[in-house]
Amino acid sequence: MVVIEAENNISSLKTQLLANYVFTDELSSLSLSEMTPDFDPFIREIIEAKEFAGKDGTICVIHNIAGSRIKRTLLLGMGDKKNLNPEKTRNLTGKVVKKSKELGISEFVLNPFISIDKDHLSALVEGIKLTDYSFDNYKREKDGNELSHVRILVRNDLENNKKIIQRSAVVSDAVIFTRNLSNLPPNDCSPKDLATFALDLSKNQKLKVSIIEEGEMESKGFGGILAVGKGSSSSPKLIVLEYSGTTKNEKPIVIVGKAVTFDTGGISIKPSEKMEEMKFDKCGGCNILGIMKAVSDLNLESNVIGIIPAVENMPSGSSYRPGDIIRMYNRKTVEVINTDAEGRIILGDALSYGVKIFAPKAIIDMATLTGAAIIALGTNVAALVGNDKELVTKILECSNQTGEKIWQLPLFEEHKEQLKSSNADIKNIGGRPAGAITAAAFLSNFVDDIPWVHLDIAGTAWNQEGTKEKSYNPKGATGFGIRTILKYVANHNPL
Ligand code: BES
Ligand code: MN
Ligand code: ZN
């Protein structure tokens, strides 16, 4: 894994590549002579010839003469300085990483050219680490060279900047940890495997991890998780991770993530086209593992509980059926109309367990819950539904800072009415209209009056191809949502 360091020794810098962040409105005053006197005249000529104008994401690489301390210089176009923001910095930094890989270079230096603030410095680190990632454990031939070492030039406050880099590296590593889990094929990631990965975390982290097994679920009445899990030969698990970062008697934040290790749809089986992608139906749960890992690595002064209902949704002689009526953990009954609407059922149990056992100050769930969320918002924006203005506002603020785009959808009584059943308290689907909202309406039955936010990450949790919009999101799992929720949880210790 790439090592990232702060560097302030500018005059004797030695590197394969020095990448300079260049704004369109600072081209005329651009001077690199401080570090690279040899380059200066060439760069001036390139700029005068308008071969490089600093436009967003444009790149120009120049070779120095043989024997120079700095082998190549790279200009990265950053557009107008007034349009600068951390997400742009994160995204365009990814382009430098990609270019360096094209060139076969595993080490470079970034010269951000701005009196860089905390958020932009973090964005550099994230841009490097998240773009460097590839999932190739199962390939005998690897995808390309990995970076080994990147330095970031900082002109002042070296110690503080080192700390910022270190903390951002931990956050990025949590995203990478989660991507590695989420990308696992379903034959290597059963509910039991997930439980094992969670238990592994408790070995060297300040985390208490417990697994509620099928038998205990039966005696405690987890009718939802049990029903969905019934059709699989891998039994369901309820994974609970506890972190206490403050001795104060502070109420915890509970985070819940859907982990359907494979979603065939069950008896209401899905079409076979693209069904392999349903290995990503565990992304919400894997996010929880990454967040809990980071929370403990960063020693955050918060109390946080992670809950992951893990099941495999399979069709078999022992599957739950359309028409079944199940009794959930909070005693409400649910008429199953479609066994493919399974995520909300397992989350219902997990949410009401979180509310009852931990009396949290806030409860947040993440789930690849509905295709309708993709229809509504596309593949770059997650849907949010909540019951508490203050919590919703906080999460949206965090999302603005991390570049993980989230948009709120409403939840009205009319939506809840779509779930009325003539045979049970509620049914598990509300028809096609407002599909992402009625899924959330279902969940609202299981959170009582606790401030709650639901994030539907069906569109954002993975990419079919690497996206053009975000250089740092590769093909496969993205870890979307981890950085935003970590920001929220960190609260007293800003990231
Ligand atoms: N895991 C799916 C949602 C999903 C679909 C995520 C496509 C990402 C891409 C979920 O369990 C599901 O099957 N939802 C159904 C609900 C329907 C039966 C009401 C859906 O969205 O089609
Ligand atoms: Mn489903
Ligand atoms: Zn699902």
- What is the tens place of the pLDDT at every residue in 160-206? 999 999 999 999 999 999 999 999 999 999 999 999 999 999 998 79
35 pLDDT tier (thresholds 50, 70, 90): confident
Pairing type for strands 3-7 and 59-63 reads: unpaired
Q: Is 331 a catalytic residue?
A: no
* Span from the CA of 394 to the centroid of ligand 3 (angstroms): 27
Distance of CA 262 to the CA centre of its chain: 19
User: What pLDDT is attached to residue 194?
Assistant: 98
Ligand nearest, relative to CA of residue 456:
1
> Residue whose CA is closest, atom 7 of ligand 1?
371
Residue 91 has pLDDT above 90, yes or no: yes
Ligand 1 proximity of 340 Cβ (cutoff 6 Å): yes
Supply the CATH classification number for the domain 3-156.
3.40.220.10
Tell me what the mean pLDDT of segment 409-427 comes to.
98
- Residue 23 forms beta bridges with which residues? none
Two tokens at 171?
């956050």
* Span from the CA of 405 to the centroid of ligand 2 (angstroms): 24
Tell me what the mean pLDDT of segment 5-17 comes to.
92
| pTM value > 0.85 | yes
Hey, where are the domains in the chain? 3-156, 184-491
Ligand 1 proximity of 97 Cβ (cutoff 6 Å): no
Tell me what the mean pLDDT of segment 100-125 comes to.
93
The CATH topology of domain 184-491 is: Aminopeptidase (3.40.630)
End-to-end CA distance of the chain: 21
User: What pLDDT is attached to residue 461?
Assistant: 98
User: What pLDDT is attached to residue 468?
Assistant: 65
Ligand 1 proximity of 338 Cβ (cutoff 6 Å): yes
Residue 6 has pLDDT above 90, yes or no: yes
Two tokens at 185?
């094929």
Ligand nearest, relative to CA of residue 309:
3
Ligand 1 proximity of 456 Cβ (cutoff 6 Å): no
29 pLDDT tier (thresholds 50, 70, 90): confident
Q: Which residue, among 169, 229, 486, has the nearest Cα to 350 in the 3D structure?
A: 229
Ligand 1 proximity of 370 Cβ (cutoff 6 Å): yes
User: What pLDDT is attached to residue 32?
Assistant: 74
Q: Is 344 a catalytic residue?
A: yes
**Which of these is catalytic: 88, 167, 344, 470?**
344
pLDDT digits (tens, 9 = 90+) for 433-443: 999 999 999 99
pLDDT digits (tens, 9 = 90+) for 290-302: 999 999 999 999 9
pLDDT digits (tens, 9 = 90+) for 370-380: 999 999 999 99
Instruction: Please give the number of the atom of ligand 1 that sits closest to the Cα of 370.
Output: 21
Q: Which of 170-179, 248-257, 460-469 has the lowest mean pLDDT?
A: 460-469
Rounded to whole angstroms, the Cα distance separating 463 from 479 reads: 11
Tell me what the mean pLDDT of segment 437-453 comes to.
98
Ligand 1 proximity of 429 Cβ (cutoff 6 Å): yes
* Span from the CA of 308 to the centroid of ligand 3 (angstroms): 14
Two tokens at 44?
């001036």
Residue 467 has pLDDT above 70, yes or no: no
Two tokens at 316?
């078999």
User: What pLDDT is attached to residue 40?
Assistant: 80
